[in-house]
Structure 1
């Protein structure tokens, strides 16, 4: 028997509402705001939440002295189409494009790394 289960993956950021809307457009779900905390309910995959972090400094990728700590792998059917959409939503490319790989690396608008992965 497990001691605990994952309630949510929580991302610190300067603007929780804006980042929640970015991920809602990417994976679906409804944004629910409570003070400095925002939940993304009903999206695909593990629940996400966002909390205000005054003085937030985004991770640098890849970097040993300002490491990313973790990242999200998001599965998509069409990497090219998904890339166009995440860039239009405000993501930035973190790694030079390699069309031979089955994943691509980006940063969300707050600077958190995430990968789009072919299913």
Structure 2
């Protein structure tokens, strides 16, 4: 028997509304909340939350001597179309050179790493 149930994944960032807007552009959904805490209600999926962290420092990637903290794997049907979309929304490529793999690594506008993964 589980002791708990996952409520929400929370990303610290300098501007919760802006980062929620980025992920709404990627995942769809509705952005709700105030300036310090914003929820992204994703249709048919797990919600994400964004919390104001004025001193936020994004993780370094890749950095063998530092933790990336966490990353999101986002499943896509069309890798190239999804890549174009996330770049247009403000993502930065971190590791996209090997086009033979079924994943590519990016940073969101606050610097959190995430992967686009082919189905």
Q: TM-score, length-normalised on structure 1?
A: 0.94
Q: Which residue of structure 1 aligns with residue 37 of structure 2?
A: 37
The separation in 2 between residues aligned to 1:43 and 1:10, in whole angstroms, is 17
Q: Which residue of structure 1 aligns with residue 90 of structure 2?
A: 90
Q: Is 1:75 aligned with 2:75?
A: yes
Q: Which residue of structure 1 aligns with residue 24 of structure 2?
A: 24
| Aligned-residue offset at 1:2 | 0.8
| Aligned-residue offset at 1:65 | 4.0
**Conserved 8 A contact 1:91-1:109:** yes
CA deviations 1:91-111 (Å, max 9, x no partner) are 000014211000000000000
Give the 3-state SS of the residue equivalent to 1:70 in structure 2. Answer: coil
Give the 3-state SS of the residue equivalent to 1:55 in structure 2. Answer: coil
The count of aligned residue pairs is: 119
Q: Which residue of structure 1 aligns with residue 117 of structure 2?
A: 117
CA RMSD of superposed structures (Å)? 1.2
**Structure 2 gap segments, 5+ residues each:** none
**Conserved 8 A contact 1:71-1:115:** yes
Q: TM-score, length-normalised on structure 2?
A: 0.94
**Conserved 8 A contact 1:29-1:44:** no
Q: 1:68 to 1:102 in 2, by over 3 A?
A: same
